[in-house]
A and B are shown apart, each in its own frame.
Chain A
Amino acid sequence: ETGVTQTPRHLVMGMTNKKSLKCEQHLGHNAMYWYKQSAKKPLELMFVYSLEERVENNSVPSRFSPECPNSSHLFLHLHTLQPEDSALYLCASSQLALAGKADTQYFGPGTRLTVL
């Protein structure tokens, strides 16, 4: 138990569906992240929110839309996905450190997404 929860744990959706992934952190952190993990590929950073503002968008298609209403919650809204979007979606949080000091990211268990 890392203090980061994700729901649902598994999701199957059609290409025309709209769904949302939810992440909640109970660690008092001020930064949250979405990663995509596909088979045989490295973890890919998708979005970063720092103090509830998006600071990084790693060229992610617009069919993925993040939302961070407060420092504890992060959503990933999905619409008109493609089969190649099937993957494990991981949420992480961290406490942004002082300048020059790296921070530790704590991961949630992930949502296994299958797009049919």
Chain B
Amino acid sequence: DTGVSQDPRHKITKRGQNVTFRCDPISEHNRLYWYRQTLGQGPEFLTYFQNEAQLEKSRLLSDRFSAERPKGSFSTLEIQRTEQGDSAMYLCASSQGGAGNSPLHFGNGTRLTVT
């Protein structure tokens, strides 16, 4: 078990640029989640996948955000035309779906700074 891996760890970008983050979940986990955490706050749910299907999206996920999990393994989160308000830690988590005994395993996150 190598854990959930996220890349890059840090990203600094200028306002208006596009950025893409990658998440590699634990290999046997079929569910993958994206959360956003701003300074001094707890994580907020953005979206989740079961295998390759994106099953739920938060209202926090504006049209500038898109997430994919094309083969049901790794996932990407893209932010287009970044804004300063997008600066946050983006956390990925995975779990083995099913009943309630499947806690989330989080990656170390990608910290985005928009200048």
Same assembly:
no
